[in-house]
């Protein structure tokens, strides 16, 4: 592991970006295709379990990562009860997002899940009377128009489309939009990113295990995978790759910042949508193309504008703001429009 890390560190920034960009597209491509392939299996109808296996993968792999790095020997900085709000938000976001796949197709979920900007702006305007810049309103307008076109195409062409799926996605991105603030409170208490990721995912895993046992989804999925070797293989791969993909994504943010992350994120989502239509054939409409272009274009425009604003000269740093806390806060904000099981 050390030799691989040292080889990577010896590369020029340009080559590091190429490597991370390739890995980002590769692992998220597999992750997203597996998600759709699992939902396409005949007889599989437990979309919520995709979120369960995602959290399981992050929890187990983070546990071994903490042992490898020695983080498990450090005492927990925040009390356990401080993680409860974040646990509820993450569980809601993951469960509702994956449950929506029972009602809408995968590309529609990707497009609508990308639009955290809209509820974030709406909440800030209503609660804080915040006024955004012209560029942000233009981006929001493009995103709204794109969503309307995309939903119209789905309504007409997709036999499995049910509007309730969009409601579930909207509720999931509302939970997502509160996540950064909830995480920030834990970072202020001195918690590390590894600590927050680990304890929150452990609590979510416990809660989801209990709830899916009560609902019967966990046992039904286990029985289904026991009788279907393809399902068992897909779910195992999905569990591990979820962790790897998130790790690569966070490395891009840490090494190259928000602008690069926005551009790669937009390209990744465009690739996901195209691969979905190629590998899992669906009825085609130009509304899908125009809608996706407006949504992804609006997100890119908004993300680049926010990243450029962060790079502009700022007020003097707060006295109690440590460099580590500022870095965590920056990474959090740069990632606010991305899909994430949790900061990794």
Q: Give the position of tokens 């979510």.
A: 204
pLDDT score of 80: 79
| Among the ranges given (130-144, 190-204, 216-230, 310-324), the one the predictor scored with the smallest mean pLDDT | 310-324
DSSP string, 76-116: PSS-GGGGHHHHHHHHHHHHHHHHGGGTS-HHHHHHHHT-T
The Cα angle at residue 21 between residues 2 and 114, in degrees rounded to 5: 125
CB 335 within 8 A of CB 115: no
Confidence of residue 138 (pLDDT cuts 50, 70, 90): confident
pLDDT score of 319: 46
Confidence of residue 313 (pLDDT cuts 50, 70, 90): low
Q: 3-state class of 313 per DSSP? A: coil
pLDDT(11) > 50? yes
Q: Backbone phi, then psi, for 277, in 5-degree steps?
A: -70, -30
pLDDT score of 183: 74
pLDDT score of 128: 59
326/198: higher pLDDT:
198
CA distance 146 to 110: 13
Count of other CB atoms within 10 angstroms of residue 170: 16
295/312: higher pLDDT:
295
pLDDT(323) > 50? no
> Strands, DSSP E only, in 14-92?
none
Q: What secondary structure letter does DSSP report for 189?
A: T
Q: What is the pTM of this model?
A: 0.71
Confidence of residue 324 (pLDDT cuts 50, 70, 90): very low
The two counts, helices (H) then strands (E), for the chain are 13, 0
Question: Mean pLDDT highest for which of 63-67, 221-225, 246-250?
Answer: 221-225
Terminal C-alpha separation, the chain: 19
Confidence of residue 226 (pLDDT cuts 50, 70, 90): very high
| Among the ranges given (1-10, 27-36, 101-110, 215-224), the one the predictor scored with the smallest mean pLDDT | 1-10
Count of other CB atoms within 10 angstroms of residue 325: 15
pLDDT(333) > 70? no
pLDDT score of 334: 34
Which tens digit of pLDDT belongs to each residue from 142-179?
Answer: 777 777 777 777 667 766 667 888 889 888 888 877 77
What is the distance of C-alpha 5 from the center of its chain?
25
C-alpha separations of 19 from 24, 79, 100, 251, 253 in Å: 9, 39, 33, 11, 14
pLDDT score of 76: 78
| Among the ranges given (51-60, 80-89, 128-137), the one the predictor scored with the smallest mean pLDDT | 128-137
What's the mean pLDDT in 76-97? 84
CB 298 within 8 A of CB 142: yes
Confidence of residue 326 (pLDDT cuts 50, 70, 90): very low
132/109: higher pLDDT:
109
pLDDT score of 221: 95
Confidence of residue 321 (pLDDT cuts 50, 70, 90): very low
């Amino acid at each position: 592991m050390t030799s691989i890390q040292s080889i990577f560190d010896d590369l020029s920034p340009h080559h590091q970006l190429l490597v991370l960009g390739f890995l980002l597209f590769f692992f998220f491509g597999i992750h997203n295709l597996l998600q759709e392939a699992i939902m396409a299996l005949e007889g599989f109808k437990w979309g919520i379990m995709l979120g369960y296996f995602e959290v399981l993968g992050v929890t187990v792999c983070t546990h071994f990562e903490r042992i490898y790095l020695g983080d498990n020997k450090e005492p927990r900085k925040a009390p356990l009860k401080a993680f409860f709000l974040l646990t509820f938000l993450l569980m809601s976001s993951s469960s509702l997002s994956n449950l929506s796949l029972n009602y809408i197709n995968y590309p529609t979920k990707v497009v609508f899940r990308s639009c955290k900007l809209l509820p974030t702006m709406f909440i800030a305007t209503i609660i804080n009377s915040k006024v955004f810049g012209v560029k942000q309103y233009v981006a929001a307008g493009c995103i709204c128009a794109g969503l309307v076109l995309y939903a119209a195409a789905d309504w007409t062409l997709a036999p499995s489309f049910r509007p309730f799926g969009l409601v579930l996605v909207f509720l999931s991105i509302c939970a997502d939009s509160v996540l950064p603030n909830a995480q920030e409170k834990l970072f202020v208490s001195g918690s590390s990113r590894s600590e927050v990721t680990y304890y929150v995912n452990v609590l979510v895993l416990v809660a989801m295990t209990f709830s899916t046992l009560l609902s019967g989804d966990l046992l039904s999925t286990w029985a289904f995978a026991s009788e279907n070797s393809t399902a068992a293989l897909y779910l195992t791969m999905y569990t591990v790759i979820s962790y790897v993909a998130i790790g690569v994504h966070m490395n891009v943010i840490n090494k190259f910042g928000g602008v690069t992350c926005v551009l790669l994120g937009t390209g990744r989502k465009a690739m996901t949508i195209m691969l979905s239509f190629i590998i899992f054939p669906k009825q085609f409409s130009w509304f899908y193309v125009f809608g996706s272009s407006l949504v992804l274009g609006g997100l890119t425009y908004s993300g680049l504008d926010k990243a450029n604003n962060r790079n502009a000269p700022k007020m003097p740093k707060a006295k109690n703001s440590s460099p580590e806390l500022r870095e965590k806060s920056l990474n959090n904000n740069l990632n606010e429009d991305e899909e994430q099981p949790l900061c990794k």
